[in-house]
Amino acid sequence: MSANPTPSNTIEERVLALAGLAQALRQVRQIAETGQADTAVLQTATDSVFRLDADTPVEVYGDERSLAPGMQLLLDYFTSATDGRDELLPRLAFSVLQLERRFVREGATAQKVQEGIVAIAPDATRLGSTHPDVLGALGTLYADTVSHLRPRVMVQGNPHYLGQAAIVSEIRAVLLAALRSAVLWRQLGGSFWDFVIRRRAMVAAVQSHLRL
């Protein structure tokens, strides 16, 4: 979780991390509501958790194309007033960005998370990062560490699915990926001012990535 990609203050790289965050949280919402995940999106999220030594933001997610759903989500929320948008998603993102501030200040918790990820990594390599055993281990790591921080990230969804241990573990695993993206965003110089004074530049950067 403490990976140190090459420092950059460019909006173009910051939106990669934001797309990773949005994409992961959209997956959280989908799992919580339907009990189902998009396999490719889930893998992008969980793979990113284990790429602690990535040198660039792109390497964290594998390649830019894997972030296309997240980029489209950012564009929709930045530019569209579509009635069908999930209004809970921005609130969830805000909660994770708040949590990131507490997480980086809690050095002991951050260290435990990093050690836990390193311990789980061999199974992720052997079985794949989306294997139920790996998701379960990541979910347990989140529950034992990050979930004790405040503010807690509250996920709403279908009680039928939220009452299933495997689904809850999967949600927690993806929340860990979302937190990883939030940490990366800050490492790249991101702040809440981006949404206020750099919104137009962010939209242009997202559009540029989507054209690739």
In this prediction the pTM is 0.94
Distance, in Å, from the CA atom of 114 to the CA atom of 3, rounded to the nearest integer, reads: 9
Structure tokens at 83: 């009635």
| Percent with pLDDT over 70 in the chain | 93
Q: What is the pLDDT of residues 113-140, one digit of tens each?
A: 999 999 999 999 999 999 999 999 999 9
- The residues near 111 (Cβ < 8 Å, ≥ 6 apart) are none
Q: What is the pLDDT of residues 43-100, one digit of tens each?
A: 999 999 999 999 999 999 999 999 999 999 999 998 876 666 888 999 999 999 999 9
Question: What are the DSSP calls for 154-166, one per residue?
Answer: P----HHHHT-HH
- The residues near 64 (Cβ < 8 Å, ≥ 6 apart) are 16, 58, 209, 212
Per-residue DSSP letter, 153? P
pLDDT > 90? residue 163: yes
Scored b (16 or more CB within 10 A) or e, 14-52 reads: bbbbbbbbbbbbbbbbbbbbebebeeebbbbbbbbbbbb
Residue pair 146/176 in contact by the 8 Å Cβ criterion: yes
Considering 2-11, 25-34, 76-85, the range whose residues carry the highest mean pLDDT is: 25-34
Please, what are the domains in the chain? 11-210 (1.10.3890.10)
pLDDT > 90? residue 2: no
Distance, in Å, from the CA atom of 165 to the CA atom of 61, rounded to the nearest integer, reads: 27
Question: How large is the average pLDDT for residues 27-45?
Answer: 97
